[in-house]
Amino acid sequence: MQQEKHTPKRRSERWKRRQKHSRLFLLIYLVICVLIFILVWKIMDYRKGLVSASRYHAELVSTAQIVEEDKRNARDTKERGLLSGTLIDAEIEAEEETETEVPDGIDFAALKAINPDVCGWLVLPGTEFSEVIVQGQDNEKYLHELLDGTKNPSGTLFEDCRNSADFTDPMTMIYGHNMKDGSMFGDLLSFRDTKYLEEHPNFLLYTPQGTYSLRVLSTLTTDAWDTIYDLKNCFGEDGPLVLLSTCSYETQEGRFVVVTKRELSEDID
Q: Please state the rounded mean pLDDT for residues 151-161.
A: 93
3-class secondary structure, 26? helix
- Highest mean pLDDT range out of 26-30, 101-105, 155-159? 155-159
Residue-level pLDDT at 117: 96
Q: Is the pLDDT of residue 70 over 50?
A: no
Residue-level pLDDT at 47: 53
Q: Is the pLDDT of residue 73 over 60?
A: no
What domains lie within the chain, and their CATH numbers? 68-102 (no CATH), 104-264 (2.40.260.10)
**Beta pairing, strands 118-123 & 171-175:** unpaired
Which of 50-59, 190-199, 201-210, 258-267 is predicted with the least confidence, judged by mean pLDDT?
Answer: 50-59
d(CA 163, CA 155): 19
Residue-level pLDDT at 26: 74
Residue-level pLDDT at 219: 95
d(CA 219, CA 92): 32
3-class secondary structure, 104? coil
Burial class (CB in 10 A: 0-12, 13-18, 19+), 111: buried
CB distance 239 to 178 below 8 Å? no
Residue-level pLDDT at 268: 43
More reliable by pLDDT, 119 or 18 = 119
Distance of alpha carbon 71 from the chain centroid: 29
Asked if omega into 116 is within 30° of 0 (cis), the reply is no
Model pLDDT for residues 169-212, shown as the tens digit of each residue: 999 999 999 988 888 899 999 999 999 999 999 999 999 999 99
CB distance 257 to 245 below 8 Å? yes
Q: Please state the rounded mean pLDDT for residues 43-50.
A: 51
Model pLDDT for residues 207-238, shown as the tens digit of each residue: 999 999 999 999 999 999 999 999 987 777 77
More reliable by pLDDT, 28 or 100 = 28
d(CA 192, CA 180): 17
d(CA 180, CA 176): 12
Confidence of residue 105 (pLDDT cuts 50, 70, 90): confident
d(CA 34, CA 44): 15
Other Cβ atoms within 10 Å of 33 Cβ, number: 10
Q: What single DSSP character describes residue 188?
A: G
Q: Is the pLDDT of residue 72 over 80?
A: no
Which of 218, 2, 207 shows the shortest CA–CA distance to 121? Answer: 207
CB distance 170 to 241 below 8 Å? yes
Residue-level pLDDT at 103: 72
